Amino acid sequence: MSQPYAVFDIDGTVIRWQLYHAIVGELINLGALNEQVGKDIREARMTWKKRTHPESFREYEKVLVGSYHDALISLATKDFLRAVDTVFDEYKDQVYSFSRDLIYKLKADGYFLLAISGSQQEIISKLANYYGFDDAVGQVYEQKDGYFTGEHTTPMFHKNRVLAELITKHKLSNEGSIAVGDSEGDIAMLAMVEQPIAFNPSRGLFEEAKNRGWRIVVERKNMIYNLKKDNGKYTLA
């Protein structure tokens, strides 16, 4: 019989922060990225922290990703891997209780665990091994002669296609399938499974989850709130 599967987004869903952002921050701390890149990113981050407008986080993210990509061809892979190791050691246990406990439960129940993330493959692989995932896909940056070429592939904008490939690759069953995500980029992936979970959802995912009647879970401090649709309204389960 085919194994059932559960697929998780990682940043903001399992880990309490964005690993991609943390690696870029560590590269700035190491002096591996130039001073102007660090300045641009810090200014965008402060705009987000002040919550100056509803899309301030997305604007910060655009600046961070754009500045990182522009600087990538001058980045030595040894510095990048050093940053990956530092970030992994710092963040590997900074997880949400709901997601961590669900991973352990599903693993014990015989589920095949998958991770699909927009963060770099190097750190996603380390994290997947640490938590017992069976396969993981992250963003891949091409390397040559100890440096990055600037070319990359990312699953961020087509997680459903990546999931479909993984299902075929491992001959998995959709019966009982579970997906956990926190943002609009996870919607297509969540729509593929029998049991979608919108966890600490962004506004866009929250509205989509409401329209489709998906389970919504919010973890705040030491409390986990399960919201379920009942007569057209979401109530605290």
| Between 52 and 161, the higher pLDDT residue | 161
Q: How far is CA 166 from CA 33, 104, 163, 188, in A?
A: 34, 21, 5, 15
Q: Is the pLDDT of residue 173 over 70?
A: yes
What integer is the mean pLDDT of 45-64? 84
**Is 203 buried (19+), middle (13-18) or exposed (0-12) by CB count in 10 A?**
exposed
Give the per-residue pLDDT at 44: 84
Q: Is the pLDDT of residue 184 over 90?
A: yes
Q: How far is CA 37 from CA 18, 33, 66, 70, 77, in A?
A: 18, 7, 10, 9, 18
CA atoms 103, 88, 193, 162: torsion sign: negative
Which of 12-16, 123-127, 133-137, 147-151 is least confident? 147-151
| Between 153 and 156, the higher pLDDT residue | 153
Helices 19-29, 56-71: crossing angle, 10 deg rounding: 50
Domain boundaries, the chain: 4-15+95-236
Give the per-residue pLDDT at 66: 86
Q: What CATH fold (topology level) applies to the domain 4-15+95-236?
A: Rossmann fold (3.40.50)
Cα dihedral 11, 16, 17, 20 in deg (nearest 10): -30
pLDDT in tens, 190-231: 999 999 999 999 999 999 999 999 999 999 999 999 998 887
Which of 148-152, 205-209, 226-230, 232-236 is least confident? 232-236
Q: Is the pLDDT of residue 38 over 80?
A: yes
Share of the chain above pLDDT 90, in %: 65
Give the per-residue pLDDT at 1: 62
What integer is the mean pLDDT of 117-134? 96
pTM for the full predicted model: 0.91
Q: Is the pLDDT of residue 72 over 90?
A: no
| Between 55 and 185, the higher pLDDT residue | 185
Residue 62: pLDDT band with limits 50, 70, 90: confident
